Structure 1
Amino acid sequence: MKFLLFTFVGVHLLFLSSGKAIYRNDTSQRTFEEIKEEIAHYGDVAKAIIDLAVYGKAQNRSYERLALLVDTVGPRLSGSKNLEKAIQIMYQNLKEDGLENVHLEPVKIPHWERGEESAVMLEPRMYKMAILGLGSSIGTPPEGITAEVLVVTSFDELQRRAPEAKGKIVVYNQPYANYSKTVEYRVRGAVEAAKVGALASLIRSVASFSIYSPHTGVQEYQDGVPKIPTACITVEDAEMMSRLVSRGSRIVIQLKMGAKNYADADSFNTVAEITGSKYPEQVVLVSGHLDSWDVGQGAMDDGGGAFISWEALSLIKDLGLRPKRTLRLVLWTAEEQGGIGALQYYQSHKANISNYSLVMESDGGTFLPYGLQFTGSDKARAIMKEIMGLLQPINVTQVFHDGEGTDIESWVQAGVPGASLLDDLYKYFSFHHSQGDTMTVMSPKEMNIAATVWAVVSYVVADLEEMLPRS
């Protein structure tokens, strides 16, 4: 008789040639069917969370909490007084909410300020353009930089036209493909322009849609390459300049930027917990980042993600639930500068990496979720699909690939299962890093649904008898 050996969640299955399975159970190992049955028992808990968050007394709470913070504090740039004020407010909020082990973990973060900035077209006509300097950019001399423009649509075109770039301001009018591909022009634009002798670079905003709105973001200099000032311009102005040069017009721009980089500042990751009842040393981490860029209110990026993460713990606490594992909320600092706060957290806590069952980050908007993105083993994915099935009453049950997030990246790369929310990214990147990122973008009903997904997933994973399998 022919046998095939298959292992699932620590359970060895011996398959007969007919396909019928014989289970060989070890004392502490269970079949997937047993795990499915365990998850099914959380139907009442999921319903209670849904009722409380979507229809009950917690309805719209995450939206109202967020609005209070961002209306009061405003945007929260790394190194700014606004960010540190927001951290202190959240520290008090979490304590007053009755969460446990509320504390601040110190980190060092970048401190950059944009100062006054302007870009004026002098030829072929006088025209003041909207710009936003890019994070960590240097400033111009006080008198600014006045130079002719070279417009390109790609790095390849810049290389082909390298002899034309020396002494000019390079304008990138790259088409928007998707964020991960197009953002390379924002991140590397200044370096590539400097390599061919440009004096400055202006990058078409990385945006899925524009109503004359520049979108800022981080950019990176490279050792051995001259640092030049760099800013983003609107989609409309990038396309307009491209049309002008295609007709043979000469464009001259005067760029002034008062941007400055300062010594690293003191800041904190903000932490709160519901301590586990049976395995308190084991952790399900739920997170979003508290910092933002210095435009708009930082409501969508990432106020929404931070506040549904807080709301997840609030909902669980309000229902008197205490999972077997510790639920740990972390509100990250300096995500926008490359996950600085999260990287320092990882370095401080990675010795206990074997105790992390799941790391969750919401940093892609809190619009109506399509489902959950997940990175992990096939066995863990099967479990997550069962858990998401508990959310059938709100019709958010899908499990997609590639659970991601700057702040959980180190954990996921080290093999810890990771999850993130997936929703309307076209809408998200229409407002991302712009003056349009305000509470007007947010929907209380959609935040209720997002918080519900976050609460159900985090609670059930934290309360299962075993951690999510990593292989």
Structure 2
Amino acid sequence: MKKRTLFCFSVMAVVGSMAYGQKADPVVEAIIKEATYHSQLEQLGHELLDVVGPRLVGSPQMKQAGDWAVKQYASWGIAAKTEQWGEWKGWERGITHVDMVEPWVKSLHGMQLAWSPSTAGKTVTAEAILLPELADSLAYQKWLPTVKGKFVLLSMLEPTGRPDDNWKDNATPESYKRMKIEREVQSVAWRERIRRTGYSSRTLPAVLEKAGALGILTSYWSKGFGANKIFGAYTEKVPSVDISLEDYGLLYRLAASGHKPKVSLRADSKTGGAVPTFNTIAEIKGSEKPDEYVILSAHFDSWDGGTGATDNGTGTLTMMEAMRILKKVYPNPKRTILVGHWGSEEQGLNGSRAFVEDHPEIVKNIQVVLNQDNGTGRVVNLSGQGFVDSYDYLGRWLASVPDSIRNEVKTTFPGTPGGGGSDYASFLAAGAPAFSLSSLSWSYGNYTWHTNLDTYDKIVFDDLRSNAILTAIMAYEASEDPEPTSKVKRQMPMTEGGKRQPWPAPRSPNRKGGGIE
């Protein structure tokens, strides 16, 4: 409570300093006060992340999240809907229980990869074996029958479970250098081991399951204490399970030394047929220019190792809170303010690409797109994305933002258009002025991006409040701006081959995903 009170006092001090020597805008002041004293971010975060949970495309939780958001917007008097744009393979996560039962007993930290097949209600026990180091693909073909009835360990043994910064803080320079060399040598050797099979890390699991393996065990360490990245399975009949670095290393070392570890696995999950994929759209209709659009953008889907808190629960919460505030203090915008919560961003910006493809009448009249999608931190970077005049209108809108928030933001104009990475790129490719509100890291890459640790407790709500204020003020200013934004593009730089780089081209979405026919 004390920390929140101090935050409120500091924000109100900012409001006072803004008003001194310049005419205060009552809407801007109202935005700041509402975000400060009546924030709903914590409650929205609890409902979305703790109650609904992760939002893997094709999962029941994704549909539940869409229904929840529509209901939440309705409670604020904002029209909202879900809009189907395709289909995806349905899948529902169940309990994963994995134990080592020989040479001694230990419960292991592991979870199924997304879309992994189950063990069909049974507990399966078998030896865990290594992918061996053999001469070539012919040798691997001779070895292949030995995987029948076994679990196969298919990831490299990490030489250390300590992140690099922990080594830097404590190791001697010589020791740190030696660790880095050892890890690089092992990485190169493991890639060569995979290459010699004649397959890739993506295609090999299917080959092993066809040869009779009972399951694939991997460990995708995220280079942070306790953090593993959880992506999708490459098997269709047997389970694929990610094991924590610590427990995977135990199995690997036992198998390598000939002690034949045995693993017991029960993996419950449900695979369905094709289920709808959708975007969740809400809007506050414009009073003077209803056919021109200010778009707030954040993807709604997530991977499901954690609950998708910082990727992209935080972007979602920021945009929802901004919309709530705007509806309360600025209920009759000049231009329509639309929010898009996109589906299947994680598989290739599919939801936003579908929206761009399906709604040319909106895209041609976009005033601006403001997108947030890289963690819980306060916004610290804003690029002009290659629009020549972006410094003019973005600069004017930012001028209304409190100094304590605006001064954190480093701007780059005109910048270079982003070719992917998040949903603003879908609009950018269509020529619309779309911008990424890029955040301070908070160890995003190692600890929460696509990991099992991406959970509610990693959210920094003070930074989210700043982002909601920034977003709401910029949306307000964009709506009020008497002029439409310029869409003039910069001359793109030359490549090393002497050709001019192209502007990113629009791409169609995958409207039938996850392997459905």
TM-score with structure 2 setting the length: 0.66
Residues 343, 121 of structure 1: CA spacing in aligned structure 2 closer, same or farther, 3 A cutoff?
farther
- Residues 215 and 233 of structure 1 are in contact (CA less than 8 Å); yes or no, is this contact kept in structure 2? no
Residue 359 of structure 2: SS of its match in structure 1? helix
Deviations 1:18-68 (A, max 9, x none): xxxxxxxxxxxxxxxxxxxxxxx998478526632554x33x322233224
- Residues 32 and 469 of structure 2 are in contact (CA less than 8 Å); yes or no, is this contact kept in structure 1? no
| In 2: Cα distance, 1:335 partner to 1:136 partner | 17
Aligned residue in 2 for 1:202: 217
Pairing partner for 1:370 from 359, 362, 380: 380
- Residues 412 and 418 of structure 1 are in contact (CA less than 8 Å); yes or no, is this contact kept in structure 2? yes
Aligned residue in 2 for 1:280: 290
| In 2: Cα distance, 1:104 partner to 1:289 partner | 13
Aligned pairs for 1:95-174 within 5 A: 95-99=74-78, 101-107=79-85, 108-140=87-119, 142=122, 144=124, 146-150=126-130, 166=144, 167=147, 169-173=152-156
Aligned residue in 2 for 1:301: 311
Residue 114 of structure 1: SS of its match in structure 2? strand
Residue 305 of structure 1: SS of its match in structure 2? helix
Residues 196, 292 of structure 1: CA spacing in aligned structure 2 closer, same or farther, 3 A cutoff?
closer
Pairing partner for 1:414 from 420, 430, 433: 430
Aligned residue in 1 for 2:203: 191
Residues 97, 54 of structure 1: CA spacing in aligned structure 2 closer, same or farther, 3 A cutoff?
closer
- Residues 113 and 232 of structure 2 are in contact (CA less than 8 Å); yes or no, is this contact kept in structure 1? yes
Deviations 1:259-286 (A, max 9, x none): 4421122354222112234432222221
What is the number of residues matched between the two proteins? 413
Residues 439, 257 of structure 1: CA spacing in aligned structure 2 closer, same or farther, 3 A cutoff?
closer
| In 1: Cα distance, 2:477 partner to 2:132 partner | 51
**Cα displacement (A) at 1:417:** 3.3
Residue 462 of structure 2: SS of its match in structure 1? helix
- Residues 368 and 433 of structure 2 are in contact (CA less than 8 Å); yes or no, is this contact kept in structure 1? yes
Aligned residue in 2 for 1:467: 485
**Cα displacement (A) at 1:227:** 6.6
**Cα displacement (A) at 1:399:** 3.0
| In 2: Cα distance, 1:173 partner to 1:50 partner | 51
- Residues 279 and 340 of structure 2 are in contact (CA less than 8 Å); yes or no, is this contact kept in structure 1? yes
Deviations 1:325-368 (A, max 9, x none): 32111223344455454444333214543223433332322223
Aligned residue in 1 for 2:459: 442
- Residues 70 and 298 of structure 1 are in contact (CA less than 8 Å); yes or no, is this contact kept in structure 2? yes
Tell me if 1:393 matches 2:404. yes
Aligned residue in 1 for 2:168: none
Deviations 1:353-401 (A, max 9, x none): 3223433332322223323355333432564355445443323321366
**Cα displacement (A) at 1:452:** 1.5
Aligned residue in 1 for 2:33: 52
Structure 2 unaligned blocks of 5 or more: 1-21, 165-186, 192-199, 490-517
| In 2: Cα distance, 1:140 partner to 1:159 partner | 30
**Cα displacement (A) at 1:290:** 3.4
Residues 146, 322 of structure 1: CA spacing in aligned structure 2 closer, same or farther, 3 A cutoff?
same
- Residues 157 and 249 of structure 2 are in contact (CA less than 8 Å); yes or no, is this contact kept in structure 1? no
**Cα displacement (A) at 1:426:** 1.6
- 277-286 vs 337-346, greater mean Cα deviation: 337-346
- 418-427 vs 240-249, greater mean Cα deviation: 240-249
- Residues 276 and 324 of structure 1 are in contact (CA less than 8 Å); yes or no, is this contact kept in structure 2? yes
Aligned residue in 2 for 1:28: none
Structure 1 unaligned blocks of 5 or more: 1-40
Tell me if 1:233 matches 2:212. no
- Residues 79 and 267 of structure 1 are in contact (CA less than 8 Å); yes or no, is this contact kept in structure 2? yes
Aligned pairs for 1:238-387 within 5 A: 238-241=248-251, 243-244=253-254, 250-266=260-276, 268-294=278-304, 296-320=306-330, 322-336=332-346, 338-350=348-360, 352-372=362-382, 375-380=385-390, 383-385=393-395, 387=397
Percent identity for Structure 1 against Structure 2: 24
Aligned pairs for 1:203-218 within 5 A: 203-211=218-226, 214-218=228-232
Residues 347, 135 of structure 1: CA spacing in aligned structure 2 closer, same or farther, 3 A cutoff?
farther
| In 1: Cα distance, 2:24 partner to 2:425 partner | 31
Deviations 1:131-152 (A, max 9, x none): 1211222335646473443269
Residues 279, 162 of structure 1: CA spacing in aligned structure 2 closer, same or farther, 3 A cutoff?
farther
Residues 418, 146 of structure 1: CA spacing in aligned structure 2 closer, same or farther, 3 A cutoff?
farther
- 202-211 vs 381-390, greater mean Cα deviation: 381-390
- Residues 296 and 371 of structure 2 are in contact (CA less than 8 Å); yes or no, is this contact kept in structure 1? yes
Aligned residue in 1 for 2:503: none
Aligned residue in 2 for 1:22: none
Amino acid at match of 2:84: P
- 110-119 vs 307-316, greater mean Cα deviation: 110-119
Residue 431 of structure 2: SS of its match in structure 1? coil
| In 2: Cα distance, 1:229 partner to 1:393 partner | 50
TM-score with structure 1 setting the length: 0.72
Aligned residue in 2 for 1:19: none
